[in-house]
Structure 1
Amino acid sequence: MAATNWEVTFEFKIHGQGNLYGDGFAMWLTKQRGQPGNVFGHTDKFEGLGIFFDTYKNNRPGTVFPYVMAMSGDGNTAYDKDNDGKANEVAGCSARGIRNSPNPTKARLTYFQEQYLRLELQYKSEDEWTQCFEIPNFKVPPVAYLGFSAETGELSDNHDILSVKSLNLYKKTPGAAPASGSPGGKTASSATRAKSHSGGGSWSWFFIKIVLFGLVITGGYVGFTIYRTRQRDRF
């Protein structure tokens, strides 16, 4: 991803039959391509952003799991796996009910360069978004690789990524209407999502011009034929 401002929405499903399960999955936006490792299936000491959907509690007293947290990797700092990333957490939230939810489970990550990074979750009910966190003045690598990984150990679970959608976001011009779909008309209302433009109108106009050109040629030919016939009749 090389856009300055963007939004990534993905649908996922964490599910299984057992009462003991783990460990969770992660979303990555890193400077280097992802490699297999021991941080939710990704290599440790990464450079960039990791968002961890942690379903197994190792050692975080007072924290309700599943837990979702963000870590900003500098390329040198290791993930605090024994304490479920407590030493690395930039922001996070508990998401009880996100596993085996009867509703579609989605996450929406919105980024405005040097302004904020915001994560919203949908799992309580369809089309109901809950803000997990918003981090001001957060920096993501200007060119980042987007990826997902998951990890199981002695315990297992199913971690499915069902769909991923990314959009570029643009600043609105003064006087423009609020962006549709922005939550509560808050910060996101100062931007508009990029729209895909269909080329159908251009092709239609092209074909109309071809037809008009054909009619002009046909009319000219008919007129010339009539004129030539009349000239012959005169002589």
Structure 2
Amino acid sequence: MGAEVRWLINILVFANVYHSLASVPFRKFEYKFSFKPPYLAQKDGSVPFWEYGGNAIASSENVRIAPSLRSQKGAIWTKSKTVFDWWEVDIVFRITGRGRIGADGLAFWFVENKGAYDGQVFGSSDKWKGLGIFFDSFDNDNKHNNPYIMAVVNDGTKEFDHANDGGTQALAGCLRDFRNKPYPTRAKIEYYMNTLTVLFHNGMTNNEQDFEVCLRAENVHLPKYGYFGLSAATGGLADDHDVQHFLTSSLYPPGQQPTPAGQPVRVSPEEETKLTQEYAEYQRKLEHQKEEYKKEHPGTTKDHEGEFDDWYESDSQRELRQIFSGQSQIFEQVRSLSQKLDEMIGRQERTMSLISSIQTGAPQIAQQGGVQQPIMTDSIRRHEVDAVLQNQNNLLNLARELRNYIVEVHTKAESIMQAQARAPTAQVQSLGYDTVSLVNELKDGINGVKREMETVGQRMLTQPPCATNCVSMITLLMVAGGLLIIIFLYSLYRYLYNI
């Protein structure tokens, strides 16, 4: 008995699954009733197959139906009516604002005639004929039941009840918060077999499949064909109403799938047999006409088969040509790599020779014009050369000053001697021994400095640079210049004191 019950349960489950699978509608994406990023809007700002107005703004990433400014209204509508009975719309949108509450809200439309762009009902016209699904974010009736999602069906004669937020006209609805969410909110609206279903994604997660049922209503009768649209409005409070994509799919019952464009229409077996016979009859007539033409024109009906074979290459020839082309490219690459490798080897050898010459301390030999010349591995630095030249200039200036001073002393001495010769009775103080010796000492000092400078210059020209333990040339010149200055100052002091 237990086995029979299990078999019965399995049969019922299988029948239920089969029935549900058999009732799943066929979906076809309708690009003329959809928009999505990227490149949502064209360069001129238009959206393909759609038209918008009011304060709506279209960009490459979304359509801002109404911006976050007071008293703004906008809408976007499809240019053409639908051509299918049942449909499903997937909307991704964001409603954001700085206020604790927002206004007024966003509306989805499926109506027989397009509404206005600055109407009284969420930016669209009142007394519409069709379906309106409102994402209402402002609490007009002070019942603290907003944000709220509701579906309202109108036959074109009723005005929307703003005072009660449409509560007396709502077909169904749910209390859901869709403002200022971390991720975009989504709504999936399906109208199939006179049943309206609205699924909602609250935007708290990034999972695109995390939907929950907001409302479901049966025996809903809408216009057979209509326009899709979106509208939004703001009042004293304001939000940004952005729609990122609007994707529409047409729904078809199982077994009623439309024939895709570009696919041939299937014909019955009888028609297929008839077409095959007609084609065979046409082939026979064509062959008969060819034979008659050959008999009537025997000189001009030569068999030209194989005449143009030389113009085309066979598969084997094409394959050989491709192989040869590939091998030629490989050879060129190998040759290029070989040249680069030779360059690298040459550079490595030159580097090794430089390193070995530096380690051994021997001068390098360079080849210039067939003559081998030594290349010094080390030389005096630029700042050292500048310092030597500056010291030499200072010494020359000091030597000129000393020469001028000696000439001046000699001139004064001659003038005194001439004056004494002209006036023998005059009392002229003669030069003392100290002054004469001072002048002689100055001459000897200057001659000694000159000899030392000549010796230093000859050493710089003939001898290589000193090692690290030698006294540098700059130091030697500075010491010599200092001594010369001291001698000059001391001699000048003694001379002035004696005079």
The reply to whether TM is greater than 0.5 is: yes
C-alpha contact (below 8 Å) 1:113/1:139 kept by paired residues: no
Residue 58 (1) aligns with residue 137 (2): no
Aligned-pair CA distance for 1:143: 1.2
Cα deviation, residue 102, structure 1: 0.8
Residue 195 of structure 1: how far off its partner (Å): 11
Q: Which AA in structure 1 matches 2:169? A: N
The CA distance in 1 between the partners of 2:201 and 2:101, in whole Å, is 24
Task: Report if the CA contact (8 A) 2:135-2:150 is conserved.
Answer: yes
* Structure 1 segment 1-235 matched on structure 2, within 5 A: 1-35=82-116, 36-59=118-141, 61=143, 64-96=145-177, 98-114=178-194, 116-123=195-202, 124-125=204-205, 126-127=207-208, 128-173=210-255, 223-224=306-307
TM-score (norm 1): 0.72
Residue 148 of structure 1 aligns to a residue in which SS?
strand
CA RMSD of aligned residues (A): 2.5
Maintained 8 Å contact 1:54/1:65: yes
**Deviation digits for residues 161-191 of structure 1 (CA, Å, limit 9, x no counterpart):** 1111101112224xxxxxxxxxxxxxxxxx9
The 10-residue stretch of structure 1 (86-95 or 119-128) with the greater mean CA deviation from structure 2: 119-128
- Per the TM alignment, residue 153 of structure 1 is displaced from its structure 2 partner at its CA by 0.9
Shift in alpha-carbon separation, 1:195–1:56, aligned structure 2, 3 A? farther
8 Å CA contact retained: 2:106, 2:232: yes
| Aligned-residue offset at 1:2 | 2.8
User: Once the 2 structures are TM-superposed, how far is the Cα of residue 43 of structure 1 from its aligned partner?
Assistant: 1.1
Structure 1's 117 and 195: CA in aligned 2 closer, same or farther, altered over 3 A? farther
TM-score under structure 2 length normalisation: 0.35
Larger strand share, 1 or 2: 1
What is the alpha-carbon distance in structure 1 between the residues aligned to residue 259 and residue 306 of structure 2?
Answer: 48
Q: Give the whole-Å Cα distance in 1 for the aligned partners of 2:129 and 2:100.
A: 34
Per the TM alignment, residue 8 of structure 1 is displaced from its structure 2 partner at its CA by 0.7
- Describe the superposition over 1:113-157 as per-residue Cα deviations: whole angstroms up to 9, x where unpaired: 33x011111124222001111111111211111111111111111
The 2-side partners of 1:21 and 1:32 are apart by: 29
Q: Over residues 62-108 of structure 1, what are the superposed CA-to-partner deviations in whole Å (9 max), with x where a residue is unaligned?
A: x5321000000111111110111111100000112x11111221111
| Aligned residue number for residue 348 of structure 2 | none
Report how far residue 15 of structure 1 moved. 0.3
Q: Any conservation in 1 of the 2:85–2:225 contact (CA below 8 Å)?
A: no
Instruction: Give, in whole Å, the separation in 2 of the partners of 1:23 and 1:43.
Output: 15
Q: CA deviation at 1:223?
A: 2.6
CA contact (8 A) 1:49 1:73 kept: yes
- Looking at structure 2, the residues matched to 76 and 155 of structure 1 have their Cα atoms a distance apart, in angstroms, of 30
- Secondary structure, in 3 states, of the residue corresponding to 1:89? coil
Cα distance change, pair 122–195 in 1 and its aligned pair in 2 (3 A) = farther
The CA deviation at 1:60 is: 5.2
Q: Which amino acid aligns with 1:18?
A: G
Q: State the Cα distance separating 1:198 from its structure 2 match.
A: 9.1
Higher mean C-alpha displacement, 127-136 vs 164-173: 164-173
Task: Give 1 or 2 for the bigger CA radius of gyration.
Answer: 2
Shift of 1:13: 0.6
Is the contact made by 1:32 and 1:47 (CA closer than 8 Å) also made in structure 2?
yes
Q: Which moved more, 1:123-132 or 1:134-143?
A: 123-132
Q: Which has the higher helix share?
A: 2
Q: What SS does structure 2 have at the residue aligned with 1:139? A: coil
Q: Percentage identity across aligned positions? A: 34
SS in 2 for 1:43: coil
The one-letter code of the counterpart of 1:75 is G
Shift of 1:197: 7.7
Q: Which amino acid aligns with 1:21?
A: G
1:203 aligned residue:
none
Runs of 5+ in structure 2 lacking a partner? 1-81, 264-302, 310-499
1:32 and 1:87 mapped to 2: Cα distance? Answer: 24
